[in-house]
Amino acid sequence: MPDVIINGPEGRIEGRYHHARGGTAPMALVLHPHPLHGGTMNNRVVYTLYQCFVRRGFSTLRFNFRGVGRSQGSFDRGEGELADAAAALDWLQGYNPNATSCWVAGYSFGAWIGMQLLMRRPEIEAFISVAPPANNYDFSFLAPCPSSGLILHGDEDVAVPPDSVQKLVHKLSHQRDIKIEFCRIPGTDHFFLDSAEVVAGHVDAYIAARARLGEPAEPAAVPARGR
């Protein structure tokens, strides 16, 4: 799980990257929660998502948005963070030019950024969103949503009421050729403190059912600094 440094729009972006051996392994980008509320790439849910993709043979990158950890810059209300995610995806593609598929996953604020990236990058064929903040951010840009995906939410989430996410799921599910798998996790709030294994189970099953896996994946060396 080597550290990597990516050249981002505001300078250095700090990341952690697992490179799957084999030229056609799929790839995944994982995005963390709100930078001003303690969100980092080492968040437990983010790490759980990251590990799910690694176990399934993906070349997988998680990183700190600008102003978090060793990433340069400062919080930019989502616009800059979307640019960071695009730069991270560019870097990931540079190391995986023959990947069979590309996924994006995000938690809370990271889910909102991930869905925006999905709209801008047609190579992303599937998404996983954990606790998307449908009550605090506008998701109307998903018209139409370009890819199917998995949405997970705690049924005791008071920060993002489950009904607001249910409305988002209903809207997306009624779009042509889009299938949204929605799982409400019982007894869980916005932070999933005791539910990491449950999240991992849902994510692993979804990846197994949908992913086009490449060659068997083993760790491989990757340069510590980006292009």
Global confidence as pTM:
0.93
**Span 159-192, pLDDT tens digits:** 999 999 999 999 999 999 999 999 999 999 999 9
Q: Tell me the domains of the chain and their CATH numbers.
A: 3-210 (3.40.50.1820)
CA distances from 80 to 14, 53, 83, 84 (A): 15, 26, 5, 6
Which residues are 105's β-sheet partners? 30, 128
* Tokens representing residue 94 in the block: 């540079």
Q: How far is CA 208 from the centre of its chain?
A: 17
**Span 76-124, pLDDT tens digits:** 999 999 999 999 999 999 999 999 999 999 999 999 999 999 999 999 9
φ, ψ (nearest 5 deg) of residue 36: -85, 0
Q: How far is CA 48 from the centre of its chain?
A: 11
* Tokens representing residue 155 in the block: 């049924």
d(CA 195, CA 169): 21
